[in-house]
Structures are given as C-alpha cells and as structure tokens.
Structure 1
Amino acid sequence: MDQPTVGILHPGSMGAAIAACAATNAVEVLWCEAGRSTASVERATRFGLTPVAELAELLERSDIVISLCPPANAEDLARDVAGRRFAGVYVEANAINPTRGQRIAALLEHSATVVDGGVVGSPPVGGKTPTLYLSGPADATERIEALFGGTAVRTAVLGAEVGKASALKLAYASFQKTSRVLVALAVGMAREHGVDQELIEVASRRTDSYLAEPEYVAKTAARAWRWGPELEEAADALATAGLPPEMLRAAAVTLARWYDAKDDSELTLTDALDQLAQP
C-alpha cells in the first residue's frame, strides 16, 4: 500500500503527538496554520509537521485527514471540510457522542469516507501507548491501522458501524473523568474540616483508589477545559440511551470552575481546591 499524505486538524497536545506517529508511515503530515495560536505553531514544529497556509491546500494534498479538536468544534470543522469536497478518508477522532459522529458522517458521505475514532490513553510521548479505536468501512479502517503500524499508537477495530468507537471512548471517559472530579470534591470537603490527610490515609488502605492520589486533582483542573465539554458529550449520549445524564452534567459544571486554569502545569493541589471553592 502506497504511503499516504496525512492532514491533522488541529494539532493540540494529543493531535500533534498522534500526527507525529502517523508520520512514520506517511509521505508527510500537514497542518493548517491559519488562525492557530503561537503554541500550536511551536507544537507542530516540535513534532515535525509540515505547515500549509489554508485548509483548502491541506485537503487537496491529503489522502487521510484526522480531526482532533475540542468537541464543540467538531461539526463546524467537518462542515468546512465537506464544503470543500474532500474525497479521502476522514477520521473523526474527537470525543463526541455517537449521534454527532453519525451526523458528521452524513455531512461528508457524498465525497469522503468517514472512520469513527476514539483515543483512549495519554498522548503517545515518553513511552505512553494510547489506543485509537476505530469503526467504519473495512477498507478505510485497514488504511488507518496501516498508518499507525509499528508506532506508539495502537489501533483496534470495533466493526463497520460509525459511532461504536465514539461510544467506547465516552463510556470510558464518563467513569475516568467523573471519578477524578469526585476526588476533588471529597478532598475539598475533608480539607474544610481539617481531615484531608486522614481521608487520604483511609483511601490508601484500599487498592486502586483515586482518593489515594489527590495530587492528580491539579492535573484534572488543568485539563478541565477539555474534560468538561467531553462529559457534556457523554451526558448527551446517556440521554439518547434513556439513561440519566445529570451526574455527568454536574461533573461538567464542577469542571467549569477550573476553566481559567487551562493547561497550567504549575498549579498545585492547594491552588486547585481554592479555585474549586470559589463560585
């Protein structure tokens, strides 16, 4: 199989690292500079991605396009791509609910082949090996498997139905991200009464308790701007399935108190709990 040219929309911390892995089996990996931040430029340069000036050029040159952006932007981005009649494989790899994934597939069905994707795990740097779950037409998912063959990104195909990969991603995210929010609330409550260290000691007697890792609360706060919208998507998926979405919506509202801490690597547990206590 010939090596493809790949386009990445847009290279955030996950997208850029995944794009760099794709470069192993691609002619080159393109990204569009138009309207992107200085941080995006630095990240794309660090990962060796090739800049192009406009989306139209990226789509014209790419055989495969991978969309990894904030969930709220996923449909608008797909609409832009559909409007330019992209005719390759479009990997919708955002943390969106299956219904939205199917709407995006319908937007692009007249020209592109859509593969539903869901990334579970941390960005593939420093020995991390996330899994990109895929669902969609077999010939297209095979191309994506080949693209990441021999890289730090593992792939797993869940079938031909668009929506399966998104569903798995959100089902996992619902537990993993909400659990971290509950840790913040529990430690915050205990701190108010001066028993936070005792709470952590109680939790540490149990195995695999997030409560025994309160230092992760600061990381949760720094990622809240991404996790909140993802949990809103998961809540929509629950509602569509006839399941109660309120717990995930409440977790998303809790995360919103940390939006000002976006990507703050210097944030401490004390800082994060203080921000959480301020309406």
Structure 2
Amino acid sequence: MDQPTVGILHPGSMGAAVAACAATNAAEVLWCETGRSTASVERAAQFELTPVATLAELLGRSDIVISLCPPAAAEDLARDVAGHRFAGVYVEANAINPERTQRIAALLPEATVVDGGVVGSPPVGGKTPTLYLSGPAGATARIEALFADTAVQTAVLGTDVGKASALKLAYASFQKTSRVLVALAVGMAREHGVDQKLIEVASRRTDSYLSEPQYVAKTAARAWRWGPELEEAADALAAAGLPPEMLRAAAATLARWNGAKDSELTLTDALDRLSQP
C-alpha cells in the first residue's frame, strides 16, 4: 500500500507526538500553522511536522486526517473540515461522548469517519499509549497500518462508530475522578495536620491512587483538559440513564485549577489553589 499523506488537527502535546509516530509510515505529516500558538509551532518543529498555510491545503493534500483537540472544539473543527468537502479518512480521536462522535460522522458524509480514543500518555520517552478504533473495517485497517511498529499501539473494537469513544470516556471517568478524590482526601487531612499520616496509611495499599499524592500537582496542571473530558463522560452517563452527578462534581473541582494550565506546581501549591481558588 502506498504511504499516505496525513494531516493532524491540531498538534497539542498528544497530537504532535501521535503525528510523529504516524510519520514512520506516512509520506508526509502536515499541520496548519495559521492561528496556532508559539507553543504549537515549537512542538510541530520538534516533531518535524510539515507546516502548511491553510486548512484547505492540508485537506487537499491529506489522505488521512486525525483530529486531536480540546473536546469543546471537536464539532466546530469537523464543521470546518466538512466545509471543504473532505473525502478521505477522518479519525475523530477526541475525548468526546459517543453521541457527539456520531453527530460528527453525520457532518462528514463524503469522508470515512473512524472513531478513535487514546488511552495512555503521549508516545514520548518510552510511553506506549493505545489508540482504540471503531468504524468501517477498511478504514480502521489503514489506521492500524499507519501506526504499525510505532509507540502508538492500536486495537480495533468493531465497526460501530462510538465504541472507541465510549471506552475512552469509561476509562477516563474512573482514572481522572480517582485523582480528584485523592486531592480532596489529602486536602482534608492537611487541614487537620494528618496529611503525612494519611499518606503513610495509604502507602500500605500500593494498588490505590491515594498512595501517590505527588500526582495531585500533575492533576492540577492538566485540569483544563481533564474537566471537559469528565463533562463529556457525564453526558455519556446521562445518555445511558446513569447518574452523572459524581463526574460533574469532579469536573467542578478540577475547574478550581484552570489557572494552573501546564504549570510546574508542588503538592502544597496545588492544595492551596484547591482550597483558595
């Protein structure tokens, strides 16, 4: 099979690293530099992605487009792509709920839409996330081939668009809410001067996130991304007739850290911001 040209929308920390893996089996990986931040430009250069000036050029040259952006932007981005009548393979790889993924598929009638969900950290420094896929068999096979022998592992869940999104959000709802609960537990214990004792007690259970309180600072730095993911997961719960309130509460807690975007905080800093937003 000829090597495809791939477009990435937009190269954030996950998107740029995934795109760099795709470059192993692609003729070229394109990104649109118009309107993007300095950080995006630097990331794209670091991963040797090819800049183009317009979305129209990216879509015109790409056989496969991968959408990896903040969840709130996913549908607007798909509408922009639809406006150019893109007819290749569109990988909707954002952390959005299955109903939104299906709406996006409907927005792109000329494209072949593959549902994707990344579970794990960006594929740098030895990390090997899994890109779960669902959608038409021929298209998912092309995405498997695109990431063959790279740090991005792939797993196909079937032909129904929505399955990959559901798996991603189900996992994220547990993992991210658990980290929020750790922050609240340590914050409560600190208020009464027993936080070190709490950590000592938790360390006897190494299978518990509570034994990793240092991760609270990383949670704070990622809150701007995690909160919207949990809102998406809450919507998925509500659509399934399950109570969404727990995940909405976790998202509201994460919102207290929105000002800490991608910052280097200590555990003390993170807890201070949580108790005094």
Structure 1 alignment gaps of length 5 or more:
none
Cα deviation, 1:73-112, whole Å, max 9, x if unaligned, reads: 0000000001100010000000000000000000002x10
Corresponding residue of 2:237: 238
Corresponding residue of 2:269: 271
Instruction: Write out aligned runs for 1:252-263 (5 A).
Output: 252-263=251-262
Partners in 1 of 2:120 and 2:267 — Cα distance? 23
Matched, 1:151 2:150: yes
- Secondary structure of 2:16 counterpart: helix
Instruction: Write out aligned runs for 1:1-279 (5 A).
Output: 1-109=1-109, 111-264=110-263, 266-279=264-277
- Secondary structure of 1:25 counterpart: coil
Residue identity opposite 2:208 in structure 1: S
Residue identity opposite 1:30 in structure 2: L
- Secondary structure of 1:244 counterpart: coil
Partners in 1 of 2:35 and 2:72 — Cα distance? 17
- Secondary structure of 2:7 counterpart: strand
Structure 2 alignment gaps of length 5 or more:
none
- Secondary structure of 1:177 counterpart: helix
| Root mean square deviation of aligned Cα | 0.5
Partners in 2 of 1:35 and 1:259 — Cα distance? 22
How far apart are residue 207 of structure 1 and its match? 2.7
How far apart are residue 278 of structure 1 and its match? 1.4
- Secondary structure of 2:196 counterpart: helix
TM-score (norm 1): 0.99
How far apart are residue 206 of structure 1 and its match? 1.2
Residue identity opposite 1:53 in structure 2: A
Partners in 2 of 1:207 and 1:7 — Cα distance? 42
How many residues align structurally? 277
- Secondary structure of 1:159 counterpart: coil
Residue identity opposite 2:265 in structure 1: L
Partners in 2 of 1:207 and 1:51 — Cα distance? 45
Residue identity opposite 1:275 in structure 2: R
Residue identity opposite 2:266 in structure 1: T
How far apart are residue 42 of structure 1 and its match? 0.1
Partners in 1 of 2:208 and 2:138 — Cα distance? 42
Residue identity opposite 1:42 in structure 2: E
How far apart are residue 66 of structure 1 and its match? 0.1
Residue identity opposite 1:246 in structure 2: E
How far apart are residue 208 of structure 1 and its match? 1.1
How far apart are residue 217 of structure 1 and its match? 0.2
- Secondary structure of 2:24 counterpart: helix
Partners in 1 of 2:206 and 2:227 — Cα distance? 27
Cα deviation, 1:30-79, whole Å, max 9, x if unaligned, reads: 00001100000000000000000000000000000000000000000000
Residue identity opposite 1:66 in structure 2: I
Cα deviation, 1:204-260, whole Å, max 9, x if unaligned, reads: 111311111100000000000000000000000000000000000000000000000
Runs of 4+ in 1 over 2 A off after TM superposition: none
Cα deviation, 1:97-141, whole Å, max 9, x if unaligned, reads: 0000000000002x1000000000000000000000000000000
Partners in 1 of 2:205 and 2:262 — Cα distance? 31
